[in-house]
Structure 1
């Protein structure tokens, strides 16, 4: 399908996009461009590779005629420096209007060069939220004429913990259109964008495709935080008649140690694979764990270099998803589909891990069913970062508890506001003796 007038893109932009090899719009552009050009706030949810970034760049370039004035009209926020470079490169590929000035802002030694680039003129600013905020506070970023605020890979912006600078920048812009592009939508993301999105349209792009291979039965438990994950694991392990043998996968040694200490008080045995401490129960191989009748749980730290023989372990629990999705996928493949499958794969995921879940689903070609949380599961409260006022109050309290803080100010009559000479001090001492 060729680019049609229904998408309402400027003719010069359609020409440059076609010359760049984009001979027709993808589904995401067909479903969103008319709304975007019409000025509506839009949330686009879709998997990696569906065309979200291209849609965002087309929306940005479509804001310009051939006479840009060098004052930022588009603020395009991304999670990291690599994304800044990628977006700027794609803008240069899709843009024939070389009078449009594009400036990238990201964390780097010194800030003066980026301040100078902004002073020379910027029509589109592609930035990480923290650096954009820093330059805004230094009066180097003028937001008064911004017409379009784009959040690309918004789920990763949340994962980086950049919600505060995004909120401050969005609140500082007098009036503009907002576009959010993300692989997943969850509570943390909604909390970040809700204050500034105005009756947005949500467009979801589904590109799961056909299943690529047989997998073990899977179930996903979506939980709010790490503490709730621990509670859920403990709750499952109470049923030792069902969970006879369990492999629990984590990403770091500290997490493995925490789970070991949490579970070791149980009657059933808990061990680590290749423990790094002599005093902790350990197995050198998965085979030894399978053969041990008095051990129920084996905690395994994810390692991309190791392929594990997980056959005959009834439950594989991913307490944390590995950074490389291929590690997870390799464990899920059922290499003997003709045999009745007795292995169940269980995954715990917080909001910040849902992006990785989506990547796995897209790669495997099937959705992971969502499990219902047990009624007796204890949901831990979120631990909020202390505010500036709370930090100040805590510092003041610490000062009060510091050594010597219990001493009170001297009375005015006892306060030493003078300094006698040594001879005079000696005479006064002699008088006290008589």
Structure 2
């Protein structure tokens, strides 16, 4: 009876999890469940399938010791209708207290119907943030008695741009225990939860599988936005001595052509595309044509509508975008000659919103990507919102008279051009390995 020994769960829940075959709690459950039962705010971080959803359901049901009274005591937010249904299915599996009424709010049913469901009584509300907020503003969702607030798959909520309704709902709830579950933590997610999470305990698990797929060496570059991705790509590919043959993957042909135009200014006819949207671009019919043409250094491939590509023997593989399906990425980086000396390096550029995909790839391959420092000379692009704010500040400044007594210093130096700087922050061993690739030119 591992559950009874480790946790202060009610007897019915212990009996249920045992009957369902959950003989041993998973790592995140072992580390976080007693903290939650004790009333602590918790941020749980772990890969898909590590047991976060079961942990959330157990923690929620454990608050209802006897019969429920039909007033919302728990509000759980999930990113979309599919995730709401997954939570409901797990509640249905584990819940044996049939006095507990669970109501779901999502886009699959009309607002009026869901308001009627709430009016009939609810104890646990499982909802998407936008639908919960809409019904709350219509006075159909009563948050006065809610003392348990949870956000599941928080990284997907940020990816869908639903931060505002989450924060508004959280701030509309009085004193309550607050939980956040996510696959990854990053700056955008930290910004969302900062207004309502007060000194939470952070519990993180890795849970990598025992088996490892044979893949090329991988390096991860964490960048703030797509503009910085382009700058980093240009910075690397300007080095024609090192990056002799490179395949760049994007998700769409439109993005592929954007990358092509960005590189063409410097690389000219050395950059090419497979299956471009426009006939005016330099193109090849297949990967073999790129491999055999010594004048071509960079091939841009869009994942959409592209069949399997044999990139054996290509020194550098760069994923500018991460494909939605991790299997597509894995197909690109699998090392089909694992016994031979592997001279291919796979570089991945990822923003905050792609880190969950990075984690799923790592879990599928059984290997972590090596995190690389960004080059010192890389130009970091500003986010669109920051640019707009600076424009507004500049407009306001035009209407302000300058202070004649204020000293404005001039520029004492200029930055190096990217092509004149080749410090990529690699270790000496990696640099030596990469220099071996020059023979592929």
1:253 CA drift (Å):
1.9
Q: Which residue of 1 aligns with 2:239?
A: 239
1:210 CA drift (Å):
3.0
Q: Hey, what's the Cα distance between the residues in 2 that align with 1:28 and 1:275?
A: 46
Give ranges in structure 2 of 5+ residues lacking alignment.
Answer: 396-441
Q: Which stretch of the first structure deviates more once superposed, 350-359 or 213-222?
A: 213-222
Q: Hey, what's the Cα distance between the residues in 1 that align with 2:332 and 2:6?
A: 46
TM-score (norm 2): 0.85
Alignment of 1:93-132 (within 5 A): 93-108=93-108, 110-132=110-132
1:40 CA drift (Å):
0.4
Q: Which residue of 1 aligns with 2:24?
A: 24
Indicate if the aligned counterparts of 1:211 and 1:366 stay in contact, CA closer than 8 A: no
SS at match of 1:90: helix
Task: Confirm whether residue 296 of structure 1 aligns to residue 297 of structure 2.
Answer: yes
Indicate if the aligned counterparts of 1:275 and 1:283 stay in contact, CA closer than 8 A: no
TM-score (norm 1): 0.87
Indicate if the aligned counterparts of 1:249 and 1:302 stay in contact, CA closer than 8 A: yes
Indicate if the aligned counterparts of 1:46 and 1:52 stay in contact, CA closer than 8 A: yes
* CA spacing shift, 1:6–1:340, aligned 2, 3 Å: closer
RMSD, aligned α-carbons: 1.9
SS at match of 1:257: helix
Indicate if the aligned counterparts of 2:46 and 2:184 stay in contact, CA closer than 8 A: yes
1:36 CA drift (Å):
0.2
Q: Hey, what's the Cα distance between the residues in 2 that align with 1:293 and 1:5?
A: 67
1:346 CA drift (Å):
0.3
Give ranges in structure 1 of 5+ residues lacking alignment.
Answer: 395-434
SS at match of 2:230: helix
SS at match of 1:104: strand
Q: Hey, what's the Cα distance between the residues in 1 that align with 2:274 and 2:115?
A: 52
* CA spacing shift, 1:304–1:17, aligned 2, 3 Å: farther
Q: Which residue of 1 aligns with 2:368?
A: 367
Task: Confirm whether residue 321 of structure 1 aligns to residue 318 of structure 2.
Answer: no
Indicate if the aligned counterparts of 1:213 and 1:333 stay in contact, CA closer than 8 A: yes
Task: Confirm whether residue 77 of structure 1 aligns to residue 77 of structure 2.
Answer: yes
SS at match of 1:384: helix
Alignment of 1:136-147 (within 5 A): 136-147=136-147
Q: Hey, what's the Cα distance between the residues in 2 that align with 1:109 and 1:222?
A: 39
Indicate if the aligned counterparts of 1:77 and 1:151 stay in contact, CA closer than 8 A: yes
Indicate if the aligned counterparts of 2:79 and 2:160 stay in contact, CA closer than 8 A: yes
Q: Hey, what's the Cα distance between the residues in 2 that align with 1:386 and 1:311?
A: 42
Q: Which residue of 2 aligns with 1:351?
A: 352
Q: Hey, what's the Cα distance between the residues in 2 that align with 1:14 and 1:339?
A: 52
1:24 CA drift (Å):
3.1
Q: Which residue of 2 aligns with 1:276?
A: 277
SS at match of 1:195: coil
* CA spacing shift, 1:372–1:386, aligned 2, 3 Å: closer
Deviations 1:363-407 (A, max 9, x none): 1111000011000101111222999xx99xx9xxxxxxxxxxxxx
Task: Confirm whether residue 203 of structure 1 aligns to residue 203 of structure 2.
Answer: yes
SS at match of 1:150: strand
Task: Confirm whether residue 264 of structure 1 aligns to residue 264 of structure 2.
Answer: yes
SS at match of 1:218: strand
Q: Which residue of 2 aligns with 1:135?
A: 135
* CA spacing shift, 1:49–1:177, aligned 2, 3 Å: same
Task: Confirm whether residue 89 of structure 1 aligns to residue 89 of structure 2.
Answer: yes
Q: Which residue of 1 aligns with 2:421?
A: none
Q: Which residue of 2 aligns with 1:428?
A: none
* CA spacing shift, 1:304–1:89, aligned 2, 3 Å: farther
Q: Which has the greater radius of gyration?
A: 1
1:267 CA drift (Å):
3.6
Q: Which residue of 1 aligns with 2:312?
A: 311
| Count of matched residue positions in the alignment of Structure 1 and Structure 2 | 390
SS at match of 2:301: strand
Q: Which residue of 2 aligns with 1:285?
A: 286
Indicate if the aligned counterparts of 1:147 and 1:175 stay in contact, CA closer than 8 A: yes
Deviations 1:272-314 (A, max 9, x none): 1122211111111000111122221111001476111101211
Indicate if the aligned counterparts of 1:210 and 1:366 stay in contact, CA closer than 8 A: no
Indicate if the aligned counterparts of 2:102 and 2:123 stay in contact, CA closer than 8 A: yes
